[in-house]
């Protein structure tokens, strides 16, 4: 039987129904501590959790208590972070193409803002007096598990290119502001330390090119997130302790021991904490494959269809049974791509069996939808042997709440 945080998942499924996201709070805390340890050789490190990976209020509150800051990309994420107890100074906004009213809200709230374009600076700076800002740099180095998530490469929409940095500094100076932070994020799902070292060098060059400008007094370097986890069984994990040591050494060579090092991990902190429990509704042998239809679909977990991402799948009630059968696991969504895995090795399945889709804590619930008018699942946080509901299951009333009938259609005649 699969156990999460000391609890049998069949009991959780019986109590809360499926599909169900089940998160082990201790794993999040342990990942946070592992990251702290990995970078501990630098005296000043802040770990700003990338809220987009999992926006559950309970998870934010857990990380806030552990001592994290947050990285947000929208007013909505900033508001959730505030509700979870983060002070505005511990919220770092690194959004792209924001609206002016959103920028004004963030500035009024006192959130730390990283500028992503000259346009953003021109629209924001006149409204703020004597502020300090960061800038997101386009470092010209990208990496990641899929082309959609490589953000640092030169041709992407993110960050200021080096050529534009002096103009930004002039603008800051003209409005009486200071540039105190350099930020970059190269991509997501990275398991190789080299891109981070290339990033530090690129940030060092950027710093050298503006260091003497009167608007510039850099005290913080933010290397973004992107730290990968092993999704495939047997895949070697990222050696975070080694990576931390190498990164800190290069960081200190380039920026000395005084400057603050900021990191923005999302996936690394939360991905492995969570399984998605789903029940087999339908077994369907066909001439080519046997489909196992389940009650979760790409509305519940988008990563397989969007990135062809691998998530390991186990028969949760028969963890020790021989996995001598092959099934293609599919959801109930009316699209051919609604598959969680092809020809997966599993024990002989029966309808009603419980499957667990592993490592779904990052970009799982956060990217879910109600496509095909299917309500989103409940989410459970397990802590100290007790299950806590952290998000209720959506109902069809929730799904249609915003619908209205225009008056010309309201009467039945």
- Give catalytic residue positions: 334
Q: Which one, 196 or 327, has the nearer CB to ligand LLP?
A: 196
Q: Under the criterion CB under 6 A, does residue 188 sit at the interface with ligand LLP?
A: yes
Do the beta carbons of residue 240 and residue 268 sit within 8 Å? yes
**Which residues does residue 71 pair with via DSSP β-bridges, in sequence order?**
50, 92
Q: Which range, of 7-15, 219-227, 325-333, 378-386, touches ligand LLP by CB under 6 A? A: 219-227
Preceding peptide of 134 cis, ω within 30°: no
For position 229 contacting ligand LLP by CB under 6 A, the verdict is no
DSSP code for 322: -
Q: Is 293 in the site for ligand LLP (CB under 6 A)?
A: no
* CB nearer to ligand LLP: pick between 267 and 383: 267
Identify which range of 82-90, 165-173, 266-274, 329-337 contacts ligand LLP by CB under 6 A.
266-274
Is 32 an interacting residue with respect to ligand LLP (CB under 6 A)?
A: no
Closest CA to 263 of 12, 29, 38: 38
Query: Does the protein bind ligand LLP through residue 358 (CB under 6 A)?
Result: no
207, 259, 303, 376: which one contacts ligand LLP (CB under 6 A)? Answer: 303
Q: Is 262 in the site for ligand LLP (CB under 6 A)?
A: no
Q: Which residues fall within 8 angstroms of residue 216, CB to CB, at 6 or more apart?
A: 169, 178, 179, 210
Select from 171, 154, 170 the least CA-distant residue to 162. Answer: 154
The tokens describing 302, both together, are 């988008």
Q: Does the protein bind ligand LLP through residue 189 (CB under 6 A)?
A: yes
Considering the complex, state which of residue 115 and residue 349 has its C-beta at the smaller distance from ligand LLP: 115
129 Cβ contact partners less than 8 Å away, ≥ 6 residues apart: 176
Q: Does 265 bind ligand LLP (CB under 6 A)?
A: yes
C-beta closer to ligand LLP: residue 92 or 251: 92
Residues in 58-117 at the binding interface with ligand LLP, rule: CB under 6 A: 71, 94
Pick the stretch among 54-62, 185-193, 237-245, 293-301 that binds ligand LLP (CB under 6 A). Answer: 185-193
Q: Rounded CA gap, 347 and 314, in Å?
A: 9
d(CA 159, CA 304) in angstroms, rounded, equals 28
Angle subtended at Cα 177 by Cα 171 and Cα 179, rounded to the nearest 5 degrees: 85
Rule CB under 6 A: which of 138-177 touch ligand LLP?
Answer: 149, 151
Based on DSSP, count helices (H) and strands (E) in the chain, helices before strands.
Answer: 13, 19
Q: Is 96 in contact with 158 (CB distance < 8 Å)?
A: yes
Q: From the CB of 67, what's the least distance to ligand LLP, in Å?
A: 18
Count the site residues for ligand LLP by CB under 6 A.
Answer: 23
Cα separation of 278 and 267, whole Å?
A: 22
Choice between 279 and 299, CB closer to ligand LLP: 299
CA atoms within 13 A of residue 314's CA, in its CB half-sphere: 16
> Of 264, 272, 295, 338, which one interacts with ligand LLP (CB under 6 A)?
264
Q: Cβ 263 to ligand LLP, closest distance in Å?
A: 9
CA distance 307 to 144: 11
Which residues of this chain interact with ligand LLP, rule CB under 6 A? 50, 52-53, 71, 94, 149, 151, 185, 188-189, 224-227, 264-268, 303, 307, 362-363
């Amino acid at each position: 039987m699969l156990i999460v945080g000391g609890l049998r998942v069949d009991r959780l499924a019986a109590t809360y129904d499926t599909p169900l996201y089940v998160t082990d709070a201790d794993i999040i805390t342990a990942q946070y501590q592992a990251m702290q340890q990995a970078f501990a050789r630098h005296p000043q490190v802040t770990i700003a959790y990338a809220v987009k990976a999992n926006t559950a209020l309970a998870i934010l509150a857990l990380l806030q208590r552990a001592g994290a800051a947050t990285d947000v990309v929208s007013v909505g994420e900033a508001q959730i972070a505030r509700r979870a107890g983060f002070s505005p100074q511990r919220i770092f906004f690194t959004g792209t193409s924001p609206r002016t009213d959103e920028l004004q809200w963030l500035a009024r709230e006192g959130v730390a803002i990283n500028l992503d374009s000259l346009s953003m600076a021109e629209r924001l700076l006149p409204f703020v007096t004597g502020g300090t800002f960061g800038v997101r740099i386009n470092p010209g180095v990208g990496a990641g598990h899929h082309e959609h998530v490589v953000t640092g490469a030169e041709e992407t929409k993110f960050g200021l290119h080096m050529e534009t940095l002096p103009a930004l500094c002039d603008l800051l100076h003209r409005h009486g502001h200071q540039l105190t932070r350099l930020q970059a994020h190269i991509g997501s799902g990275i398991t190789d330390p080299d891109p981070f070292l290339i990033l530090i060098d690129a940030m060092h060059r950027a710093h050298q090119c503006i260091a003497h400008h009167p608007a510039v007094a850099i005290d913080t370097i933010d290397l973004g997130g992107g730290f990968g986890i092993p999704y495939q069984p047997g895949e070697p994990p990222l050696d975070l302790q080694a990576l931390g040591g190498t990164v800190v050494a290069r960081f200190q060579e380039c920026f000395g021991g005084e400057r603050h090092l900021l990191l923005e991990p999302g996936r690394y902190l939360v991905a492995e904490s969570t399984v998605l429990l789903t029940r087999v509704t339908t077994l369907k042998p066909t001439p080519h494959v046997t489909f196992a239809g389940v009650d979760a679909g790409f509305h519940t977990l988008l990563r397989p269809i969007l990135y062809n991402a691998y998530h390991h799948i186990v028969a949760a009630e028969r963890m020790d049974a021989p996995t001598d059968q092959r099934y293609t696991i599919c959801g109930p969504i009316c699209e051919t791509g609604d598959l969680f895995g092809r020809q997966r090795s599993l024990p002989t399945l029966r309808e009603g069996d419980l499957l667990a889709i592993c490592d779904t804590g990052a970009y799982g619930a956060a990217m879910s939808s109600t496509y095909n008018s299917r309500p989103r699942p409940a989410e459970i946080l397990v802590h100290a042997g007790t299950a806590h509901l952290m998000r209720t299951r959506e109902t069809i009333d929730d799904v249609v709440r915003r619908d209205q009938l225009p008056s010309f259609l309201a009467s039945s005649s």
